[in-house]
Each structure stands twice: as structure tokens, then as C-alpha cells.
Amino acid sequence: MSRSVSEKRAAFRALHESGCFMLPNPWDIGSARYLETLGFKALATTSSGFAWSMGHADNSVTRDAVLAHLRTIVDATDLPVNADFESGFGATPDEVAESVRLAIETGVAGLSIEDSTGDTSAPLMSIDTAVERINAARRAIDANGGDTLLIGRAENFFAGKPDIDDAIARLKAYSDAGADCLYAPGIKSREQIEAVVKAVGPKPVNLLIGGVSEFTLNDVASMGVRRVSVGGGLARAAWGGFMRAALGLADGRFDGFKDAAAGDELNGIFNRHTK
């Protein structure tokens, strides 16, 4: 049974109240619908996975293309969808607010705003600038129903500035500015994870595990993490299989198809969406 946008958003918010849930990241309709069949409770988009599917590098896709993608994923699934909304698609707080308003219109249940600049010489915004942008996103959400979750992201560990104290200071500032959930992608150790959870609690924390990890979902749940996303991990796994098979073809070999999914299996999975 199809759920309304408000029902999806309510369900998504409820997931953040207790426990720890997996938030996998599809990059297209097929991957979103397959993940739904596995019983996940919510999905999140991935800027990198989507960009690669379009033949672009991460963070080089236009706002219009991202908005269209968000609507496509939201419409493809009955699950709540969290949007990877990069740094908010705006040079000023007012422009960020307008972009957030447009994102809300796609039906997403949550969206993240990060503090990276894309400039390798100064990869992070100042905390004051980033807070202004979180404030703008918060105002846009509140002016449009208030039920879309806002995630504040401190990009220190992705931006080559792996300073846990600065990341925590940023997350606390974003929490005070109205972020509902906090996220420092790239932290990996138990000490870092527990420090972030303690610093921003009782607000929920998202942990990124985009590769092989020593931790299980139960492990990070015991640290107080509320949700775990994988970023571009699933897309990279898919690309890895494709690239290995394609390189084999380039060498005149076909062994790269050894672990390929069966066509009948895929048709069975997607058949209910085409009747």
C-alpha cells in the first residue's frame, strides 16, 4: 500500500527515536526497489553513486539534475528517502533556503547539508558560515511543514582535515542551529564514534560505513549510533563487478560473468513493478 509523503516522513522520524537502523544508499530506480524488497525501513540517496551513473564525478551534478533524481527515487519506493543534498546548492544562505524548499517539494523525508567548499586550498567553510546555512535550511523546513528531517554534516575527515575536536565543535553548532541529526563522515574508531555520540546527544548520529569494517550494526548500536549509511559503497561494489567483467571482455575473456545475477531472478524481483 502506497504511503503519503507525510506518512513517510513520520515513519522516518520515528526511526530516529530509538535503536539503530541501516540506511542503504541506492543510486537508481532498480537499486532502490531491490533494497525495498530486502526489508529495509528507509533509504538514502548518494551524490557520488548518482553522479557516476550520469558519467560525472561526485559533486559536479547540477541542482536541477539532483532534484529530478530525488523525485525519481521518492516516486520509485514506498520507503522514506533521505537526500544527500551536498552543501545545499547555494552561494548564500538565502539560496540554500530556496534549494532546500525545492528539495522538500520532491517528497524526501530528510536531507543533509554539509560544510565542504570543494576548494582544496580551503576545504571547509568557517563554522559561522556553515551555521548560517544550517539556519537557512532549518527556516525553509519549518516554513514548509517542519516534518522533513535536517542532517548537519561536518566534513573534516573527508576534506583532509581529520580533527575530531573541530568536527565535534561543528556538529554541536549545527545541532544548536536546528539540525535534527548529526553526521561526521569518515570517523572510524570506537573512540571517535563514542565521542561524537556523547557530544551531540540526545540527538541521533549517522555513521558512515562505506567499506569493510571491524564493526557490525549491533556493535555501533551499542556505541549509541542511531543510523548507519553506506554512501557510495553499494555503487562502488556494483562498479567493481562491472569493471572487472568489462576488463575481462577487453582481454577476450568472459570469466567476469561468474557471479552475475540471473536474468530470471532480476525479472522476478522487478515484475511486480511492471504489471
Digit-coded pLDDT (tens) for 113-166: 999 999 999 999 999 999 999 999 999 999 999 999 999 999 999 999 999 999
The matching CATH number, chosen from 3.20.20.60, 3.60.40.10, 3.40.470.10, 3.40.50.2020, for 5-233 is 3.20.20.60
114 three-state secondary structure:
strand
pLDDT of residue 1: 58
| Every domain of the chain and the residues it spans | 5-233
pLDDT at 275 over 70: no
Residues 26 and 37: their CA atoms lie apart, in Å, by: 13
If you average pLDDT over every residue of the chain, what do you get? 97
Which segments of the chain are extended strands (E)? Answer: 21-23, 43-44, 81-84, 110-114, 149-153, 181-183, 205-208, 227-229
Whether 5 contacts 138, CB under 8 Å:
no
pLDDT value at 108 more than 90: yes
Contact 255, 247 (CB under 8 A): no
Q: What is the pLDDT of residue 117?
A: 97
- Is pLDDT of 3 > 80? yes
Number of other residues whose CB lies within 10 A of the CB of residue 121: 5
Give me the pLDDT at residue 220, please: 98
User: What is residue 183's DSSP assignment?
Assistant: E
**Under 8 Å between Cβ of 171 and 184:** yes
H or E, element range at 231: none
pLDDT tier for residue 83 given thresholds of 50, 70 and 90: very high
Q: What is the pLDDT of residues 184-213, one digit of tens each?
A: 999 999 999 999 999 999 999 999 999 999
pLDDT over 90 at 6, yes or no = yes
Q: What percent of the chain has pLDDT over 70?
A: 99
**Contact between 229 and 44 (Cβ < 8 Å):** yes
Residue 62 has pLDDT above 90, yes or no: yes
Query: Cβ distance 207 to 220 under 8 Å?
Result: yes
Q: Among candidates 111, 128, 43, 113, which has minimal Cα distance to 80?
A: 43
- Looking at residue 272, its pLDDT comes to 79
